[in-house]
Chain A
C-alpha cells in the first residue's frame, strides 16, 4: 500500500527530516570529513602544528609490516567469525525448526546472547577461559593442554573468534529460523517423495532456498567482524599477546588513541571506510537481485 503525501509548504518536509539529517551530519559526515583531512596531514610531536603531506600517510601505512599483519589478522578473524556464526546458527535453526517440546523456551534462550553487551560477553568468556581462574581454562590445563591465551597468540585469536561469533549466532539464528519457516512444507514433502533423504533434502532444497538469507547474513557478519568487535577484543586480549589479535579496527584505536599517530590512524580509518562502503554497496546491489531464484 503506497500513499503519496503532499505537503503544502517547503519548510515542513525539511523540518521533519532535520533530526535525521543533523544526526547523520554530526556523527558521520563531520568525523568522516575530519578523518579524510587528517589522513593527508602530519602533526609535529607536540601537536602544535601540522603540515600537508599528500598520500604519504597511506604509503607509510600500506608498507608497514604491522599493518599488513593487521590485515591478515582481520582476514582470518572475520572469515572465521562469519563462518562459525553462520554455521552454528544454521545448525541450531534447523534443529529449532522441528516441532519439539519447549520450542519457545529454546528459541528465547538462543536469542539472549544478542542482548548482551560486547564487553560483558568478553568478560564472560574471560572468566570461562582464564588459564588460572576460568572453568574451562583450568580444565584444559588439567587435561594436559597448555592453555594460556595471554601467552599464546593462536589461542588468543581462537578465543576472540569464539567470543565474537557467539554474540552473532543469535542474530543469525533469528534470520535463519525465519528463512526456514518460509520454505513451503509441501516442497520438502515433494522432495521426500522424489526420494531425497533428509541430508540430501537439506543440501539440494533447503540450503539453496535459504541462499538470499545466507548472503544477507554473510555481509552483515563480515561487517560485524570488521567493525563491531572492538569491545570484545579490547576486553579479552587488548590486541595481544604482542600483535596477535590486532585487527584493522583495533589498530586504528591503538595508533590513534594510544600512540597519537593521528595521520596514520586517519589514513587507516579512510581505508576502513572504503571497505564499509564497498560491503554496503555489494549488499544493496546483490541482496535484492542476484541471489533470488
Chain B
C-alpha cells in the first residue's frame, strides 16, 4: 500500500536517450498500465522503478520517500517477469518463501503465508513441485504468488501474460485484476497489448518514443486521444486519418478527398486553411442512406466476422480507409459504398504536431 511518484525520469544508454522525462503519480491502490509498442521505453521505466536500472536524471518516490539511490532489495517491491524468472532449483514453496526467508520472517509464519497465498491462487497442490514440472499457466501463478506473499508496497508486472496462449491470457488477465482489487496493492503493469491495457488499468500511460503521450483513464484515452499516435494505437481496427484543412472559420474540415465536414462541438482555433488531420474510428462510420451522397469507399477487402464486417478500401484521394459495419450482409470487394462520417465522432488533430485540437472555449 503506497503511492508512487516519478519526477522527470530520463534515461540514456550511451548516446541513445530512451526516456525523455516521464512524470507520473500513482495513487494508493491504483493500477496503472504502461502501454506502448516495443522499444518505446516502457520496460526501462518499470526497471527504473524496480531499481534494476538507474535513471540518468529524475527521481522515484515511494510513499513520498526518494528511493532513487536505493537497491531493489530496499524498495519493498515485487515484480512479475515476462518469463516468470522462477528459481529453477527450488520447489514452488521455496520459490515463494525465498523473499520471506531473507527478511527473517519466522518459519511458522512463512508456512502460513505461503499456504494462504497458494490457496488464493489455487496452487496448493503444487507446492512440492519444481518449476520445470509446471505448465505455463501454473508458472505464471507461482510468479504471482511469489510477489503476493511478500505483501510488498508495490507490484510491478513486466508483460507477464505475453507467454501464455490466448485463452489462458484472458483468464489470467481477469484474475490479475480481481487479485489486485482485492489486495489493493498499488501496481504498475507494462504491456504492448492494448486490450490488456484497456481492461486492466485504472489509468493508462501510453508511451511513444520515450515520452508519455497520454496519461488518462482507458475510456478517456479511447474517447479523447491526446495525439494521432495514441489515437492510432488504441482501438482496433485502428482509427482512420484523413488529411484536411480548416474551413468555415474553424467550424468545419475540408477533406482533401472533397467533402466538407462540419464539427458538432464548435470551432477549432487557427486560420482558415490550417492543415489538420481528421480522425474517425472504423466503428463510428455508417453506410450513407441512398440519396445522401457521402464519401465513396472503394472496397478492396471485406472481412465478415458474423456480428460485424470489417471493410478495407480506398477513398477517391487514394487514402486507405477502414470501416466496421454491423451485420454480415455487407458489400463485397469491388463495390463502392458511400459512407457517412458522423460529426460528433470526429477527432481533430494538428497536422504538424499531431496533437489533438479541442474546440475554442
Pair from one complex: yes
Point out the residue from B71, B87, B130 that lies within 8 Å of A205, measured CB to CB.
B87
CA distance A17 to B137 in the complex (A): 49
Binary flags per residue of B85-108, CB closer than 8 Å to A gives 1, else 0: 111110000000011001100000
A184–B83 touching, CB < 8 Å: yes
B52–A192 touching, CB < 8 Å: yes
CA distance A193 to B132 in the complex (A): 22
Point out the residue from A196, A208, A211, A293 that lies within 8 Å of B73, measured CB to CB.
A196
A196–B102 touching, CB < 8 Å: yes
A247-293 at interface with B (beta carbon < 8 Å): 293
Point out the residues of chain A lying under 8 angstroms from B50, CB to CB.
189, 193
Point out the residues of chain A lying under 8 angstroms from B102, CB to CB.
194-196, 200
A182-234 at interface with B (beta carbon < 8 Å): 184, 186-187, 189-197, 200, 204-205, 208-209, 211
B73–A186 touching, CB < 8 Å: no
CB distance from B163 to the nearest CB of A (A): 12
CB distance from A267 to the nearest CB of B (A): 44
Given contacts A189-B52, A189-B72, contact A195 B99 (CB under 8 A): yes
B92-141 at interface with A (beta carbon < 8 Å): 98-99, 102-103, 130, 132
Point out the residue from B78, B79, B98 that lies within 8 Å of A204, measured CB to CB.
B98
With CB as the reference atom, state the residue of chain A lying closest to B79. Answer: A193
B57-74 at interface with A (beta carbon < 8 Å): 71-73
A195–B52 touching, CB < 8 Å: no
CB distance from A90 to the nearest CB of B (A): 17
Given contacts A184-B83, A200-B102, A204-B98, contact A192 B88 (CB under 8 A): no
Point out the residues of chain B lying under 8 angstroms from A293, CB to CB.
88-89, 130, 132
Given contacts A189-B52, A190-B85, contact A195 B73 (CB under 8 A): yes
With CB as the reference atom, state the residue of chain A lying closest to B150. Answer: A194
Interface: B81 (CB within 8 A):
yes
Binary flags per residue of A165-193, CB closer than 8 Å to B gives 1, else 0: 00000000000000000001011011111
CA distance A187 to B71 in the complex (A): 16
With CB as the reference atom, state the residue of chain B lying closest to A197. Answer: B73
Interface: B276 (CB within 8 A):
no
B130–A194 touching, CB < 8 Å: no
Point out the residues of chain A lying under 8 angstroms from B146, CB to CB.
190, 194
CB distance from B211 to the nearest CB of A (A): 26
Interface: B230 (CB within 8 A):
no
A99-154 at interface with B (beta carbon < 8 Å): none
Point out the residues of chain A lying under 8 angstroms from B132, CB to CB.
293
Interface: B299 (CB within 8 A):
no
A193–B89 touching, CB < 8 Å: no
Point out the residues of chain B lying under 8 angstroms from A208, CB to CB.
89
B71–A191 touching, CB < 8 Å: no
With CB as the reference atom, state the residue of chain A lying closest to B130. Answer: A293
Point out the residues of chain A lying under 8 angstroms from B72, CB to CB.
189, 192-193
Interface: B280 (CB within 8 A):
no
B87–A187 touching, CB < 8 Å: yes
Interface: B77 (CB within 8 A):
yes
B83–A192 touching, CB < 8 Å: no
CA distance A191 to B150 in the complex (A): 13
CA distance A204 to B82 in the complex (A): 22
B52–A194 touching, CB < 8 Å: no
A192–B85 touching, CB < 8 Å: no
CA distance A249 to B71 in the complex (A): 53
CB distance from B278 to the nearest CB of A (A): 44
CA distance A184 to B86 in the complex (A): 10
With CB as the reference atom, state the residue of chain A lying closest to B78. Answer: A193
CA distance A150 to B149 in the complex (A): 63
CB distance from A205 to the nearest CB of B (A): 6
CA distance A191 to B78 in the complex (A): 10
CB distance from B323 to the nearest CB of A (A): 43
Point out the residues of chain A lying under 8 angstroms from B88, CB to CB.
187, 209, 293
CA distance A205 to B132 in the complex (A): 16
B130-164 at interface with A (beta carbon < 8 Å): 130, 132, 146, 150
B98–A191 touching, CB < 8 Å: yes
A190–B73 touching, CB < 8 Å: no
With CB as the reference atom, state the residue of chain B lying closest to A208. Answer: B89
CB distance from B90 to the nearest CB of A (A): 8
CA distance A190 to B87 in the complex (A): 9
Point out the residues of chain B lying under 8 angstroms from A189, CB to CB.
50, 52, 72, 79, 81, 85
CA distance A208 to B91 in the complex (A): 13
CA distance A196 to B73 in the complex (A): 6
Point out the residue from A192, A200, A204, A211 that lies within 8 Å of B71, measured CB to CB.
A192
CA distance A204 to B89 in the complex (A): 10
Point out the residues of chain B lying under 8 angstroms from A194, CB to CB.
73, 78, 98-99, 102, 146, 150
B85–A209 touching, CB < 8 Å: no
Q: Provide 20 A-B residue pairs closer than 8 Å at the C-beta atoms, listed in order of the A residue.
A: A184-B85, A186-B82, A186-B83, A187-B88, A189-B50, A190-B86, A192-B51, A192-B52, A192-B71, A192-B73, A193-B51, A193-B72, A193-B73, A193-B77, A193-B78, A194-B73, A194-B150, A195-B73, A195-B103, A204-B98
**In the A-B complex, the 4 residue pairs with the closest CB atoms:** A194-B99, A293-B89, A186-B85, A190-B85
Given contact pairs A192-B72, A194-B98, enumerate 19 new A-B contacts (beta carbons under 8 Å): A184-B83, A186-B83, A187-B86, A187-B88, A189-B79, A190-B79, A190-B81, A190-B87, A192-B71, A192-B73, A193-B52, A193-B72, A193-B73, A193-B79, A194-B78, A195-B99, A195-B102, A196-B102, A293-B89
